Amino acid sequence: MDKRNLIEEAEKVLNNNFQKEGFTIPCEGLYPFQWKWDSGFIAIGYAYFDVAKSKKEITTLLDAQWENGFIPHIVFHTDSDTYFPGPDFHKSELHPQSSREFRSTGMTQPPITGFILEEMHRIVEDKEDMLSFVKSHIDRVYKNHEYFYGQRDPRNEGLVYIYHNWESGTDNSPMWDDIWKTMNPPEYEFERRDTTHVDPSQRPSKREYDHYLHIIEIAKNHNYDDKAIAETSPFLIQDPLFNAMLIKSNESLINLYEVIGGHSNKIDQLRIWQRKSIRSFNEKLFNNELGVYVHYDLRNEKQISFVSSSSFAPLFAGIPDIDKAKVLVNTMLERFGGEDKYLCASFDPANERFNPKKYWRGPVWINLNWMLYYGLKKYGYDELAKRVKNDSVELIDKAGFYEYFDPRKNMYKNMEHGGYGGRNFSWSAALLIDLLKD
């Protein structure tokens, strides 16, 4: 397949997943609604060939923002019975400031919308037109950052917490296994829908889902009140991927406000958050022994000492200095970079919890690779960046537009391939377009 065909195919995947309500599903069946961070990556892809859809994706997401600035992880624009847990389980209406117009979940996802606006502005030809779009939306994203720093940072450290593994984006990472051991949720009765679309060996277990649902029940008991959640949730994490996205988005908001002109109070505030966040990030989330950034468990007061693809996301946000970046890159090459593997597995291949097929327990994800590619370029690791890009393109070329990919190269021999999870997956398509155009 040549480069041109891949781009055409990617465009087709996005167009097919576009819904008449003005948003794009991640893929058919498995994910039938609008997901927050998917939306952002999808908008990047559209920015190359259908600017109206790119803008629409972001507008539709921001229209579901709550009065307190919160942006939910799933917006249930439509009815669908192919997904569990749906709107009747999440009951966002419990929160007094939730959207009255759109039902949603009561949790969020990595705050990428700020840097997505900057990406859209970078990609399109008509800068003036996009700037006027940015002008009319940027304050809502700023308000979302105000929400994070005001409501999700109880110790005023500049590091925000997540209260659910689905907020991390890396849903069933082995990172969370030790937290599950601190909980003993009921055996809920419910009908899984994801495993009717995808082989169960590629999805989280039923017992893991009991934990996921239990955390939501606790939050619902408090009507999704942030303060009460911070006090009671058994899952309370400062996540390096999530916080790196916030920091990257802070920087983008500063850049965009500077292009727009004025807004000096907001720029000053963003700079204050930014300085504090980057300082705490380096002090609290770096693990010298492992040579990477790790997660911090606020509930149990300790670092979670595992290496994952989230450990390298800070490169994308310019968080490490040059020396720390070098340490990160060495750790990545040592643990993830063997010649028999595609970069970059989502979890440490040298660890016994690594599973190359199971969702976020090992497979390669195109969105994390995309961040890694730009992060490595930022620090001058051009050759390695090229390897990450080539690996991403090759995986899609060999397997198709899957949700995630087996990192082991020998899985792609003969007629077999290691593409797993949802097929015709929107962000794999959208970010491939960007990688090929860069």
Q: How many residues bind ligand DGY (CB under 6 A)?
A: 4
Of the residues 28, 93, 171, 177, only one is catalytic, namely 171
Mutual orientation of helices 51-62 and 127-151 as an angle, nearest 10°? Answer: 20
CB 423 within 8 A of CB 27: yes
CB-nearer residue toward ligand DGY: 171 or 178: 171
**CB < 8 Å & 24+ apart, contacts of 192-195:** 192/84, 193/81, 193/82, 193/83, 193/84, 194/30, 194/83, 194/84
| Residue among 63, 171, 225, 397 that touches ligand DGY (CB under 6 A) | 171
Helix 426-437 / helix 366-378 crossing angle, nearest 10 deg: 30
Binding of ligand DGY by 166 (CB under 6 A): yes
Query: What x-and-dash track marks residues 63-92 binding ligand DGY by CB under 6 A?
Result: ----------x-------------------
- Strands 295-297 and 292-293 come out as unpaired
CA–centroid distance for 62 within its chain = 17
Residue closest to ligand DGY, measured at CB:
166
- In the complex, the smallest distance separating the C-beta of residue 39 from ligand DGY, rounded to whole angstroms, is 12
State the minimum distance, in angstroms, from the CB of residue 85 to ligand DGY.
Answer: 8
Q: Decide if residue 209 touches ligand DGY (CB under 6 A).
A: no
CA distance 84 to 194: 7
In sequence order, the β-bridge partners of residue 285 are none
Work out whether 41 is an interface residue with ligand DGY (CB under 6 A): no
Residue type, 123: I
SS3 297: strand
The residue (of 148 and 166) whose beta carbon lies closer to ligand DGY is 166
Residue closer to ligand DGY, measured from CB, 79 or 340: 79
- Rounded to a whole number of angstroms, the minimum distance from the CB of residue 2 to ligand DGY is 33
Contact (CB, 8 A) for 408 and 364: no
Contact yes or no for 175/181 (Cβ under 8 A):
no
Contact yes or no for 44/431 (Cβ under 8 A): yes
Our CB check for ligand DGY shows the closer of 73 and 103 to be 73
Report the chain's terminal Cα–Cα distance, integer Å.
Answer: 19
Residue pair 347/308 in contact (Cβ under 8 Å)? The answer is yes
Contact 61, 23 (CB under 8 A): yes
Which entry of 11, 153, 251, 403 is annotated as an active-site residue?
403
Instruction: Report the alpha-carbon angle 195-91-216, nearest 5.
Output: 60
Letters for 188-207 (x = contact with ligand DGY by CB under 6 A, - = none) are ------x-------------
Q: Which is nearer to ligand DGY, 41 or 166 (CB)?
A: 166
| Closer residue to ligand DGY (CB): 171 or 397 | 171
Is residue 69 within 8 A of residue 146, CB to CB? The reply is yes
Exposure of 18 in the CB half-sphere (CA atoms within 13 A): 22
Other beta carbons within 10 angstroms of residue 261's beta carbon come to 8
Nearest-approach distance from CB 338 to ligand DGY, in angstroms? 28
Q: Is the dihedral of CA 198, 75, 369, 42 positive or negative?
A: positive
What residues numbered 229-288 form the site for ligand DGY, per CB under 6 A?
none
Compare residues 165 and 392 and give the one whose CB is closer to ligand DGY: 165
Residues making up the chain, counted from first to last: 438
Answer whether 218's CB lies under 8 Å from 232's CB.
Answer: yes
Q: Is 231 a catalytic residue?
A: no
Residue number, 277 or 308, with CB nearest to ligand DGY: 308
Closest distance to ligand DGY from the beta carbon of 437 (Å): 27
Residue 88 a catalytic site member: no
Report how far residue 331's alpha carbon sits from residue 370's, in angstroms, rounded to the nearest whole number: 19
Q: Interface residues with ligand DGY (CB under 6 A)?
A: 73, 166, 171, 194
Q: Which residues are catalytic?
A: 171, 403
